[in-house]
Each structure stands twice: as structure tokens, then as C-alpha cells.
């Protein structure tokens, strides 16, 4: 049994298809030979031809006209009409034709070589009819009018015997289809589904099951190896960026100390501003590369308290940030990374607007909607399709803006929202400004969304997930 499994189930798909295709054909050949070998299953045309031959033999053996008439009368009672015509009558009533009656044509074909039978159209006072004419001695002919083939009742044995003939062909093909779906196609479908939900830097080391036929195993190994190479590349690049960021902190600290000792106040302030910008960019990059979304566990928290805490922190710094929504709402989320995402949105809102409002609204099936609205300049509509990529800056002049960063603010928010199985949307604020909408599903809905998630872009597979650009309103 194990050797058969290794040779067939775990063998080549080509071998399996060939075997499963050949077996039904062989079964049909064997069944057909058994069914049609029986003399009781003689086709209709052969039965009629044999009956005509028997009648002619009996007529030739008849010793008197009375015996011949008795043979013909007995034949007519069986449903095979027969009549003897003289040569003059035959010439007057019979006309050569090419009949459209398939049964008569096939019967004539069975008798043409042995009896010289032909098909004629007989014209009489009662009408016309196609008959099979067999010539006799002295110019006379026999005109045979076979009975119309009777239609078989639904429960006739011949109809019942036709069913297994069909099943012999249909059932094996049905089994082949089921086998192909269960053993060959199902693994490929599973690969596609798992690839859509797969994150290159999270999850098991080898997520694709390496089993089944040889080609399926080879494909699974290739996907697992490719996933491992992508993870190694992402980890290597992340380590490199973190190392560079860490090494930059030491010279930045020395520069800060030297700048603080400067006696030129204007020069000291400019240098400290630039040093603060570089330090903020480094911190922004490290935050983006941090894997809190993947490592933090989901907890049930009071979401309004979480959002009100963020708003109060900004309000305590005399920044116009307010909260609007219910006072109590329990929700399962990753609180630390969600606080970081909302903080990024509010921070960018106060940089480029005068008033920021954080709204919370419960949704159907246990989900929530968080909106962060400001009255700043907003993001132009033509840039919203591009700001989904990290490091994107819609305005080159922002490079000299003290408020600008690396363009990772909204990328971090998108990372957090994706980790919750939700979606982020950029909309126009009313009457002006930017509205960032975060739709977070309930945990059960999150699993359903992850199963049908769209394939990632090329930048995502390189480790930079598609995300909105830094949360300043000019795609910063």
C-alpha cells in the first residue's frame, strides 16, 4: 500500500492524469465488448434483414402456391409486410428512389450483397410507401414493408441497460474530477489563499505545506524558500537601518553639546533646530521599523478613554484638540500601537491646522470608526493615490520645512490599521482640511478580512508596506 501511494499519489501529476484517463477508456471497451457480444442484443436492422432472409428461404422451399401464401400471411402477422408482384405490376408501381428512411436504408444495406435488394417507392391507389424489393425468378419480386421501429417504454429493458452504459463513462470521469479537485487543485487553491494573507516578516518560517504530488511539493518548497529569502533580506535591511540610526546618535550628541556652547545665539539656535530635525527623523524611522503591531497582544479596553487621553495630552500643551463620541465603548485592540497611530494623526493635524477633532463612532457587527479631522490645507486629490507609499513627499519644498519628516507618519498609521484588519481612508474635510478615517472591524471580522486580503505590492515585499505618506497635510 505504501509503495502504491509513493508511486501514484506522490508521483507526477502527469502520470496520475494519464492513468486516470486510460482507466475509464479501458472500462468502456470491456463493457462494450460484453454488452454487444450477446446474440439477444441484435440491432433492429439486423433483425429485420434476418427475418427477410428467412422468409425468402421458406418461399423457395414451399412446394405449392398455397404453402407460399401461408408463409407470406404468417410473415405479415409479425409486422413485416410482404407482397409478391409480377414483373408488369412491379414496373408500373415501383420507382427507384434514394430513401430518407434510415431504417429502410440500413436494412437494404444488410441485404444488398446477398439478395440484391433495392429500395423502391410503391405508388398505388391507396398512396405511396417505401419498400424493400427483392427480385425472384421469372421476373417476379417481393416487396417488403418493415414495420415502423416501435418506441421503447421508459422502463423497457433496453432503456434500463443504457443507463449502466452511460455510468461506465460518466462515473469514472466524475471520480477523476473529484480526485483532481481534492488532490491536485485544492493545494494550489490553498497556496493562493495563504499567499494573499501572508506577511513576509511575520508568521511561521515555512507556511506552505510540502506534501502531495511531486510538482506540488516542489512548488511549496520554492514558495517557502522564497519567503525565507525575503524575510532574511528584510531583517538584514532593518538591522542595517537600525545600526546606522544608532551610530548617528553619538555624533549628533557631540554636535548638540558643541552647539550649546556656542556664543552666537542665532547660530546656536539654527544648529539645535537642525539637530532636532535629524534626531526626529531617526526616531521616526526606528518607529516605523518597530514590530509592535505584530508583537503586542490584543486587549479589551475602553476605547473612549484611550482617545480622550491622547486629546488631553495635546490639550495640556495648549493645542486645540477635542474629542467627540461616546463616553464608554469596550473594544478589542492593541492599545499601545493604536495610541501611537492616533497620536501621529493628531500631531500632524496640529502642525498644519488650527483645530483638530477626534471622533469615535460604533459600527455594525462590533466594529468602530475613528476619524481625525483638521482645518489645514489638506492633501490634493491627485496625490492621494501616491501617498500610500513610504517616504513619499508631495512637495519638494518640504525638505526645508522644520515640520517635515521622512514621510512615514501615515505609513505607521497604515501599519497599525492593517495589523487590526482595518482600512484607512483620506477624505476632504468640511469646510476644508483633511479627514483621516480609520475603520477597525471586530476581531471575528478581522479574521475574515485577512483571508481575502489583496496581494501586496512590490514595495511591500521589499519590507516597506504600502501606506500613506507622513501625516502632514501636504503629503509630508
- Dig out the grid coordinates for 380 from the structure: 490634493
CATH topology of domain 199-289: Helix Hairpins (1.10.287)
Q: Which residues of 420-447 are buried (b: 16+ CB within 10 A; e: fewer)?
A: bbbebebeebeeebbbbbbbbbbbebbe
**Whole-number Å distance between alpha carbons of 371 and 437:** 5
Instruction: Tell me the average pLDDT across 439-452.
Output: 62
Yes or no: say if 122 and 143 are a contact pair by the CB < 8 Å rule. yes
- Dig out the grid coordinates for 296 from the structure: 503586542
Most confident of 164-178, 276-290, 372-386: 372-386
Residues facing 373 on adjacent strands: 357, 435
Does the structure show a pLDDT above 80 at 9?
A: no
- Residue 433's region, left for phi above 0, alpha for psi from -120 to 50, else beta, is left
Length of the chain: 476
Residues facing 374 on adjacent strands: 356
- Domain coordinates of the chain in residue numbers? 2-40+155-193, 42-146, 199-289
pLDDT, tens digit, 9 for 90 and up, residues 235-264: 777 777 777 777 777 788 888 888 888 888
pLDDT, tens digit, 9 for 90 and up, residues 175-191: 777 777 677 777 777 88
42-146 and 199-289 agree in CATH topology: no
% the chain with pLDDT above 90: 10
pLDDT, tens digit, 9 for 90 and up, residues 401-414: 445 554 556 777 88
- When pLDDT is cut at 50, 70 and 90, the band that residue 459 belongs to is very low
pLDDT, tens digit, 9 for 90 and up, residues 281-309: 777 677 666 655 556 788 899 999 999 99
Task: For the sheet with 94-96, list strands across it.
Answer: 80-85, 141-146, 127-135, 118-124, 94-96
Name the pTM for this structure. Answer: 0.47
Average pLDDT score over the chain: 75
pLDDT, tens digit, 9 for 90 and up, residues 144-169: 888 776 665 556 565 566 667 667 77
CB proximity list for 282: less than 8 A, separation 6 or greater = 245, 248, 249, 252
CATH topology of domain 42-146: Beta-Lactamase (3.30.450)
Amino acid at each position: 500500500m505504501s509503495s502504491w501511494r509513493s508511486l501514484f499519489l506522490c508521483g507526477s501529476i502527469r502520470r496520475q492524469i494519464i492513468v486516470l484517463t486510460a482507466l475509464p477508456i479501458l472500462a468502456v471497451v470491456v463493457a462494450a465488448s460484453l454488452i454487444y457480444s450477446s446474440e439477444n442484443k441484435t440491432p433492429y436492422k439486423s433483425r429485420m434483414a434476418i427475418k427477410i432472409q428467412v422468409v425468402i428461404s421458406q418461399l423457395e422451399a414451399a412446394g405449392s402456391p398455397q404453402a407460399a401464401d401461408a408463409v407470406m400471411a404468417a410473415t405479415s402477422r409479425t409486422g413485416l409486410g410482404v407482397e409478391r408482384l409480377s414483373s408488369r405490376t412491379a414496373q408500373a408501381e415501383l420507382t427507384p428512389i434514394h430513401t430518407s428512411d434510415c431504417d429502410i436504408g440500413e436494412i437494404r444495406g444488410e441485404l444488398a450483397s446477398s439478395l440484391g435488394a433495392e429500395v423502391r417507392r410503391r405508388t398505388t391507389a391507396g398512396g405511396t410507401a417505401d419498400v424493400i424489393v427483392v427480385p425472384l425468378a421469372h421476373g417476379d419480386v417481393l416487396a417488403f414493408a418493415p414495420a415502423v421501429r416501435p418506441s421503447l417504454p421508459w422502463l423497457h429493458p433496453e432503456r434500463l441497460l443504457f443507463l449502466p452504459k452511460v455510468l461506465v463513462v460518466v462515473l469514472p470521469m466524475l471520480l477523476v474530477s473529484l480526485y483532481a479537485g481534492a488532490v491536485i487543485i485544492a493545494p494550489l487553491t490553498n497556496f493562493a489563499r495563504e499567499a494573499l494573507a501572508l506577511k513576509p516578516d511575520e508568521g511561521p518560517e515555512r507556511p506552505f505545506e510540502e506534501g502531495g504530488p511531486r510538482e506540488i511539493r516542489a512548488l511549496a518548497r520554492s514558495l517557502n524558500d522564497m519567503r525565507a529569502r525575503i524575510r532574511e533580506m528584510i531583517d538584514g535591511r532593518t538591522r542595517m537601518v537600525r545600526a546606522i540610526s544608532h551610530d548617528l546618535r553619538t555624533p549628533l550628541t557631540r554636535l548638540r553639546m558643541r552647539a550649546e556652547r556656542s556664543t552666537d545665539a542665532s547660530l546656536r539656535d539654527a544648529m539645535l533646530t537642525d539637530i532636532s530635525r535629524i534626531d526626529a527623523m531617526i526616531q521616526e524611522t526606528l518607529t516605523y521599523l518597530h514590530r509592535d503591531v505584530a508583537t503586542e497582544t490584543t486587549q479589551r479596553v475602553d476605547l473612549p478613554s484611550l482617545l480622550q487621553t491622547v486629546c488631553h495630552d495635546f490639550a495640556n500643551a495648549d493645542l486645540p484638540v477635542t474629542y467627540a463620541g461616546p463616553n464608554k465603548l469596550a473594544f478589542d485592540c492593541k492599545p499601545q500601537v493604536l495610541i501611537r497611530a492616533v497620536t501621529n494623526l493628531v500631531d500632524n493635524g496640529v502642525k498644519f491646522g488650527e483645530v483638530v477633532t477626534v471622533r469615535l463612532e460604533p459600527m455594525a457587527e462590533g466594529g468602530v470608526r475613528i476619524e481625525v479631522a483638521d482645518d489645514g490645507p489638506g492633501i490634493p486629490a491627485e496625490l492621494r493615490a501616491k501617498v500610500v507609499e513610504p517616504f513619499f513627499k508631495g512637495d519638494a519644498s518640504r525638505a526645508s520645512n522644520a515640520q517635515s519628516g521622512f514621510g512615514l507618519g501615515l505609513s505607521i498609521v497604515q501599519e497599525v490599521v492593517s495589523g487590526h484588519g482595518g482600512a484607512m481612508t483620506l477624505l476632504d474635510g468640511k469646510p476644508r482640511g483633511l479627514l483621516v478615517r480609520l475603520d477597525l472591524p471586530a476581531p471575528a471580522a478581522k479574521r475574515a478580512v485577512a483571508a481575502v486580503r489583496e496581494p501586496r505590492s512590490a514595495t511591500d515585499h521589499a519590507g516597506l508596506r504600502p501606506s500613506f505618506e507622513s501625516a502632514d497635510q501636504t503629503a509630508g
